[in-house]
Homo-oligomer: A and B are copies of this chain.
Amino acid sequence: MRIGVIGAGALGLYYGAMLQKAGHDVAFLLRRDFTAIRQNGLKVFSFQGDFHLSQVVGCQSPAEIGPVDLVLIGLKTFANQHLIDLVRPLVTEETAILTLQNGLGNEELLASAFKPEQILGGVAFLCSNRGVPGEVHHLGEGRIQLGEYQGGLSARSIALADSFRDAGIPCDAGEDLLSFRWQKLVWNIPFNGLCALTGKTVTELLDHQPTRQLIQSMMQEVIEAANQQNLASPIEGDIFIAKMLHLSAAMEGYQPSMMIDRQEGRPLELDAIYKIPLDRALSAGTPMAQVDVIYRCLSVGETHSSSPA
């Protein structure tokens, strides 16, 4: 399969490397890592085994990549104003476009420029960080849950999940992408925001009873909102929260992406992870009051994102 990776941060570099290692023909759109990867290839440091790709196709413009079978999108959502222009040169009638970006609104944005039936979305449970240019660190997890933007379990999505699994990436195709998206938000909304705001890791927030309770309470808010979004089946609150906390307990010292974005002075993914979910929750009559407080605190000093209503 010919694959183009748009947005080669930690997620794009890691999944792209795994797919290339499995024999796929992968091209990466690179910026920060371009020179390092051209010179020395790409090094993956993974808890499941390190590896090095000495020959990597790195491009500086999407036109250099050209048409592919699969566009894999890992672009930070705060750069979404560039998304369509970055993806367009890779797309033919046959191309599948898979966004693994955070939060809500990404498939809708793609659907404004491409055919809805070409679009898939996925959520990635991946603990990874970029290292120095030319290196990526895979710290834990890695599972992808993907589905068609238009819903339903397609042959294409099943085949795609098979390809990912064959490449060593745990992956499930499902019929309700929206469920995957909201389930992921149950984790992302409390942890990304609270870690970014307090400067504390997942572990530190869970070890401190008042923030642990706040996390649980925010998860409850997200679940109540999610269950008014016409998901195929409701999220079972207490069970799901217990599962999320159990997963999180294994992420010793983990710093979510928004915390790192803030530390490194990048914009925050506030629209995708906060604004659009808050708007949809409000429209469905289930406002997320605690989430709203955190969003407002995060938004001050962020010139990029839209403002809360």
Asked if A46 lies at the interface with its beta carbon under 8 angstroms from chain B, I say no
Residues from 102 to 151 in A contacting B, C-beta threshold 8 Å: none
Stretch in A5-13, A178-186, A193-201, A232-240 with 4+ CB within 8 Å of B: A193-201
Q: Are A294's CB and B293's CB within 8 A?
A: yes
What are the 7 closest A-B residue pairs judged by CB atoms, nearest first? A210-B296, A210-B308, A214-B296, A208-B300, A293-B293, A211-B300, A210-B299
Chain B residues closer than 8 Å to A194, beta-carbon distance: 297
A194, A205, A289, A296, most chain B CB atoms within 10 A:
A296
The copy count of this chain in the complex is: 2
Q: Are B296's CB and A213's CB within 8 A?
A: yes
Chain B residues closer than 8 Å to A294, beta-carbon distance: 293, 297
Residue of B with least CB distance to A209 = B307
Chain B residues closer than 8 Å to A289, beta-carbon distance: 289-290
Asked if A204 lies at the interface with its beta carbon under 8 angstroms from chain B, I say yes
Whole-angstrom distance between the Cβ of A143 and the nearest chain B Cβ: 29
Cα separation A208 to B198 with both chains bound (whole Å): 20
List 30 contacting pairs A-B, 8 Å CB cutoff, sorted by A.
Answer: A194-B297, A197-B197, A197-B198, A197-B297, A198-B297, A198-B301, A200-B300, A205-B300, A208-B299, A208-B300, A208-B301, A209-B307, A210-B295, A210-B296, A210-B307, A210-B308, A211-B296, A211-B297, A211-B299, A213-B296, A213-B308, A214-B293, A214-B296, A214-B297, A289-B289, A289-B290, A293-B293, A293-B294, A294-B297, A297-B297
